[in-house]
């Protein structure tokens, strides 16, 4: 033992795995290898040597393992085999070691319960889930059991779908678009893609929105720990009937915000025409002769009364595809306005109207 020197001066790392011993066979010979192997077992049992297990990588194919054995029988060493096949020396050593012990390159039988579903059943599950995205795991399990006669739980179906990258999610909500709506949106994009910035700078965008006195209709989130569901800072207070709200009509352009009009009661075509004459026309005139007015296809906007008024006033109206609320940039302005209002404390509708008008006028052009 004294001839080998202290343990810290061994010519191999003290925390290496058992595959290092295979590499030493060709360097030191069998006698020294047996001594090192016995010493390593002693160090492991006494706790002086930590035995690290390497993480398992991708399994080699049978053809590749047979090539390793064939090259080894031809007299090639571990390093030359590893360099030829572009593998690590430890992988080559372990493959040859398994062949010397078992006489075969096949893996030993694994422990654990085998998969209940065959590859064919898994492909059937994938086809069912992709064919009907709303099909539940229990329904898929019943379908698989009816075809193959093998009982399968809904949890097994979920695990199988997770393995192929399919997860149960809440579907996103969007307007129902028919083929005519899609064609109209495409035509709108083709007509407007050649417009320059000067055209868009002369567009007056308009829309209506509801502003609540007590919180918005959107989803709110809070950061909380388990057990804090009903802490004052983690709850969203509610009141009966929402606490009241106001309806507003507004417009904007690249030059900034335009007029803002509060809507009393339910708006009809006649009330909308009054808003156009009182609030829209002054904002449109500020943009000059090339100004273009935009509003959506709400029945009040496309009524005969409204159409006749716009024609009489010689207002150039932008053609707008139906079911396209996401195309109007004023939706972002409503979001900015409502987030600012959340920072203001108001207790009644009159204060809300004053704060809305103040924040609307204060919105910067940028």
The string of pLDDT tens digits covering residues 339-358 is 888 888 887 888 899 999 99
- Whether the predicted pLDDT of 13 surpasses 50: no
The string of pLDDT tens digits covering residues 19-62 is: 444 444 444 455 554 555 555 555 544 444 444 444 556 778 88
What's the CA gap between 334 and 108, in Å, rounded? 66
User: Residue range 269-296: average pLDDT?
Assistant: 93
156 or 108, greater pLDDT:
156
User: Residue range 110-127: average pLDDT?
Assistant: 84
Where along the chain do its domains lie?
62-102, 119-168, 179-189+196-362
Of 66-70, 79-83, 190-194, 212-216, the range with the lowest mean pLDDT is 212-216
Give the pairing type, strands 292-294 and 203-212. parallel
- Return the CATH class of domain 179-189+196-362: alpha beta
237 or 84, greater pLDDT:
84
What's the CA gap between 287 and 285, in Å, rounded? 5
pLDDT of residue 175: 78
Rg of the Cα atoms in the chain: 37
The string of pLDDT tens digits covering residues 77-102 is: 999 999 999 899 999 998 998 888 88
pLDDT of residue 19: 41
**Cα 168 versus chain centre, distance:** 13
88 or 217, greater pLDDT:
88
């Amino acid at each position: 033992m004294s001839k080998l020197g202290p343990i810290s001066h061994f010519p191999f790392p003290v925390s290496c795995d058992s595959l290092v011993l295979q590499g030493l066979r060709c360097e030191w010979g069998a006698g020294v290898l047996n001594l090192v192997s016995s010493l390593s077992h002693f160090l492991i049992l006494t706790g002086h040597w930590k035995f690290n297990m390497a993480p398992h990588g991708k399994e080699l194919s049978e053809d590749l393992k047979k090539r390793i054995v064939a090259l080894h029988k031809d007299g090639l060493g571990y390093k030359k085999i590893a360099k030829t096949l572009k593998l690590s020396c430890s992988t080559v050593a372990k493959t040859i070691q398994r062949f010397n012990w078992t006489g075969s390159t096949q893996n030993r039988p694994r422990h654990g319960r085998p998969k209940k579903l065959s590859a064919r059943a898994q492909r059937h599950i994938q086809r069912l889930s992709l064919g009907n995205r709303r099909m539940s795991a229990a329904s898929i399990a019943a379908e698989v059991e009816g075809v193959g006669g093998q009982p399968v739980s809904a949890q097994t179906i979920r695990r199988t779908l997770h393995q192929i990258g399919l997860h149960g999610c809440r579907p996103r909500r969007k307007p129902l678009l028919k083929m005519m709506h899609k064609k109209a949106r495409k035509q709108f994009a083709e007509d407007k893609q050649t417009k320059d910035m000067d055209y868009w700078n002369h567009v007056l965008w308009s829309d209506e929105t509801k502003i609540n006195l007590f919180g918005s209709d959107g989803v709110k989130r809070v950061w909380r720990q388990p057990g804090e569901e009903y802490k004052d800072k983690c709850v969203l207070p509610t009141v009966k009937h929402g606490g009241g709200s106001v309806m507003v009509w507004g417009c904007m352009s690249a030059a900034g915000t335009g007029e803002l009009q509060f809507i009393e009661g339910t708006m009809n075509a006649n009330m909308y025409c009054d808003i156009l004459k009182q609030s829209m026309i002054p904002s449109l005139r500020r943009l000059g002769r090339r100004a273009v007015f935009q509003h959506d296809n709400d029945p009040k906007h496309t009524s005969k009364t409204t159409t006749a008024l716009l024609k009489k006033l010689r207002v150039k109206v932008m053609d707008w595809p139906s079911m396209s609320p996401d195309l109007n940039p004023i939706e972002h302005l409503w979001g900015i306005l409502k987030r600012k209002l959340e920072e203001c404390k108001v207790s009644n509708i009159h204060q809300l109207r004053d704060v809305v008008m103040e924040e609307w006028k204060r919105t910067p052009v940028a």
